[in-house]
Structure 1
Amino acid sequence: MALEQHIQRIEEKLYQLLKKLQQVQAENVWLKEQLQHHQHEVQAQQQTITQLEQKLHLAKIATVAAGPPASPEEDEDFKKEMRSKINDYIKEIDRCIALLNS
């Protein structure tokens, strides 16, 4: 009799553990979905930030190019920025040419 009660308690505890395991697994799936959702949001926000930074950068270039520089330092900064941008374009063109040649 005591052995049967002991076995029954073990079965009840096992049932409770299995139920808890299913709950934890369901919660794990939900958390993974939430994480994936938040990662997509972060990625979209990072793309938006990158686009806005590019627009700001172009706006600064346009502002400097539209009028005379307020100081020699700004003129020098503009020249450096333009050289850098042109060099970036040249590198990108070289990469495209290399891809077309291969």
Structure 2
Amino acid sequence: KKVEVYSKKLQEQTELLRDRQELMQKISFLDRELNASKARESSLQSAKERLEAEVLQLSKRCQESQCQSTTPSSPSVTQVPMGRPLSAKTFVPPQLSHFAVS
């Protein structure tokens, strides 16, 4: 009788340990995923900042050169056309191409 109780408790404990092990694995997996997405976010953020700086430079250069409209008071001066528009989905800077989701 005592042996049955003992083996039942041992079995329960084994199951609990196994469950705990699975949970620990899930937690470490999620930690890795979180860190990867944080790294991805920060590299995307810096790419975005670089592109914004580039846009500013191009806008300045455009205003200094002759590509601004003949009537400076025209509101279209601020909307500087820069070739074909880049959609956020299709444009991936080369250094981030390994993050691209196909």
Q: Same fold (TM over 0.5)?
A: yes
Q: Work out the CA distance in 2 between the residues paired with 1:58 and 1:22.
A: 54
Partner of 1:49: 48
Question: What is the number of residues matched between the two proteins?
Answer: 76
Q: Give the deviation of 1:7 after TM superposition.
A: 2.6
Partner of 1:65: 64
**TM-score of the superposition, structure 1-length normalised?**
0.64
Counterpart check, 1:37 vs 2:36: yes
After superposition, the Cα gap between the structure-2 partners of 1:68 and 1:56, relative to the gap in structure 1 and judged at 3 Å, is closer
After superposition, the Cα gap between the structure-2 partners of 1:51 and 1:73, relative to the gap in structure 1 and judged at 3 Å, is same
Structure 1: gaps (5+ residues): 78-102
Considering only CA atoms, is the larger Rg found in Structure 1 or Structure 2? 1
Structure 2: gaps (5+ residues): 79-102
Q: Give the deviation of 1:4 after TM superposition.
A: 2.8
Q: Give the deviation of 1:57 after TM superposition.
A: 1.2
After superposition, the Cα gap between the structure-2 partners of 1:15 and 1:31, relative to the gap in structure 1 and judged at 3 Å, is same
Q: Work out the CA distance in 1 between the residues paired with 2:68 and 2:53.
A: 21
Partner of 1:94: none
Q: In the alignment, residue 40 of structure 2 is paired with which amino acid?
A: E
Q: Work out the CA distance in 2 between the residues paired with 1:30 and 1:68.
A: 53
Q: State the identity as a percent.
A: 11
Q: Looking at both structures, which has the greater relative contact order when contacts are Cα pairs under 8 Å and sequence separation is at least 6?
A: 2
Counterpart check, 1:25 vs 2:36: no
**TM-score of the superposition, structure 2-length normalised?**
0.64
Q: Give the deviation of 1:68 after TM superposition.
A: 6.5
Whichever structure has more helix as a proportion of its residues is 1
Q: Work out the CA distance in 1 between the residues paired with 2:11 and 2:60.
A: 73
